[in-house]
Amino acid sequence: MEQDESGSEAKAQTLIKEYKARFQTIESTMHPRGIPGEAQGKSSNLSWAAKYIINKYQREDAKRNVIVTVLDGMNCYSLPSFFH
């Protein structure tokens, strides 16, 4: 999510709380605004999350069970059917 989007942290925490029982670990990342040469948008948010994962899970075997998804406010309404 975008770090400066109004309510992004609260939205992330709501999703984590609602779906944490379905995953071993669930986290969110907040893409900061103003990184030189970087546009704001879904692809840059995914790139930010991927960089976070690469730094957090440095061993190849640890990366095998990582799922990355990019959701925005509209996608949140379809989550119940997506994870059932």
pLDDT at 80: 58
51 in any annotated domain: yes
pLDDT at 36: 92
Cα angle for residues 84, 2, 70 (degrees, 5° grid): 30
Give the tens place of pLDDT for each residue, 8-54. Answer: 889 889 888 988 898 888 889 998 988 898 888 888 888 888 899 88
Where in the sequence is the domain holding 35, given as residue range(s)? 8-82
49 in any annotated domain: yes
1 in any annotated domain: no
- Single-letter amino acid code for the residue at 67: I
Which run of H or E residues covers position 10?
A: helix 8-19
Q: Do the beta carbons of residue 79 and residue 19 sit within 8 Å?
A: yes
pLDDT at 5: 82
Q: Do the beta carbons of residue 30 and residue 3 sit within 8 Å?
A: yes
- Number of structural domains in the chain: 1
pLDDT at 63: 80
Q: Which two tokens stand for residue 72?
A: 């925005």
3 in any annotated domain: no
pLDDT at 72: 57
